[in-house]
Amino acid sequence: MLSNKTLTNLSQALLPEVIDYIEGSDSYVDLLMELIPNAIEEKLGSIDEEVKMELSMMLMDSMILSKVKLSYKEVKSITT
């Protein structure tokens, strides 16, 4: 069994590659397409489906296009 320190170091080393893998996955986009409309409805209540879908697409586009990459240092500070 690996020590806790070794596992921590390994997880921190893998983190940027795992994030890239997830962001490059079709499943990531599918997940966004499912969760964003749900979040909009939770925040705004019941709204017109067309408006909700348009807002969803705008938000998803903004999230994907602006993909703010945290530096390893920032990610490390969040995870510790």
Domain extent listing, the chain: 4-79
Write out pLDDT tens, residues 12-36: 999 888 888 888 888 988 998 899 9
For 50, other C-beta atoms within 10 Å of its C-beta total 8
The answer to whether 58 touches 31, Cβ cutoff 8 Å, is: no
Supply the pLDDT for residue 80. Answer: 62
CA–CA separation, 3 vs 58, rounded Å?
Answer: 45
Burial of 56 per CB tally in 10 Å (0-12, 13-18, 19+): buried
- What's this model's pTM, rounded to 2 decimal places? 0.61
The answer to whether 74 touches 15, Cβ cutoff 8 Å, is: no
Write out pLDDT tens, residues 30-74: 998 899 999 999 999 999 999 999 999 999 888 776 665 444 556
